[in-house]
A = this chain, B = another copy of it.
Amino acid sequence: MNKKAFFSITYQVQAQSEEEAQQTSIAVATEQSVEMPTDAVPPHLRKNIGSVESVSEISNHIWKTVIQFSGSLVDNDPTQFLNVLFGNSSLQPGVRVVDIDRKYLSQICHGPVHGIKRIRKKMGIDKRPLSCTALKPVGLTPGELAERAYKFSSGGIDVIKDDHGLANQTAAKFKARVQSVVRAVRKGEQISGKKTAYFPNITGSAAEVIDRYMQAVELGADGVLISPQLTGLTQMHQLASSNMPLPIMAHPAFSGSFVNHPTGGFLPEIYYGLLWRAFGADFVIYPNAKGRFSFSEDTCEAINHECRNLDLDLTSSFPTPGGGIDRNTITEWANKYGNDTVFLVGGSLYQHPDGLEIATKEFQQTLEDYE
Please give the residue numbers on chain A whose beta carbons come within 8 Å of chain B beta carbons, in ascending order: 27, 31, 33-37, 39-42, 45, 48, 72-75, 77-80, 82-84, 86-93, 134, 136-140, 144, 163-165, 167-171, 203-210, 227, 230-235, 237-238, 252-262, 264-265, 287, 292-294, 323, 346-347, 350-351
Contacts and interface: CB of A to CB of B under 8 A. Distances in A.
Nearest to A166: B80
Contacts of A36: 136-137, 346-347, 350
A79 B257 contact: no
Stoichiometry, copies per complex? 2
Contacts of A77: 167-169, 204
Contact of A252 (B91, B170, B207, B347): B91
B347 A165 contact: no
A173 to B, nearest CB: 10
B165 A231 contact: no
B254 A87 contact: yes
B79 A205 contact: yes
A90 B169 contact: no
Contacts of A209: 206
Output the residue of A45, A79, A230, A257 with the most chain B CB within 10 A.
A257
Given A72-B169, A256-B91, A205 B35 contact: no
Contacts of A252: 88, 91
27 contacts: A31-B292, A33-B165, A34-B137, A34-B138, A35-B136, A36-B350, A37-B347, A37-B351, A40-B351, A48-B138, A72-B170, A73-B169, A75-B167, A79-B167, A79-B204, A80-B167, A80-B168, A83-B164, A88-B164, A88-B256, A89-B256, A91-B259, A91-B294, A92-B256, A231-B234, A232-B234, A235-B235
B80 A165 contact: yes
B138 A253 contact: no
A89 B137 CA distance: 17
Nearest to A144: B42
A285 to B, nearest CB: 11
Contacts of A203: 79-80, 83
